[in-house]
Amino acid sequence: MNVTSKGRYALRVMLDLAQHPDEGYISLKTVADRQDISMKYLESIVGSLKKAELVESSRGKDGGYRLNRPAKDYPVGEILRCLEDNLAPVACIRAGSVDCDRAAACMTVPMWKELDEITNAYLDGVTLEDLLTGEKWRRS
Task: Name the DSSP letter for residue 127.
Answer: B
Most confident option among 37-41, 60-64, 123-127: 123-127
Percent of the chain with pLDDT over 70: 98
The pTM assigned to this predicted structure is 0.88
Q: How confident is the model at residue 140 (pLDDT cuts 50, 70, 90)?
A: low
- Angstrom distances, CA of residue 118 to CA of 1, 112, 123, 140: 12, 10, 9, 20
Q: What is the CB neighbour count within 10 angstroms for residue 25?
A: 17
More confident residue, 135 or 30: 30
- DSSP H helices, the chain, are 5-19, 28-35, 39-51, 76-83, 109-124, 128-133, 135-138
pLDDT of 96 over the 70 cut: no
Mean pLDDT of 49-71: 94
H or E stretch covering 85: none
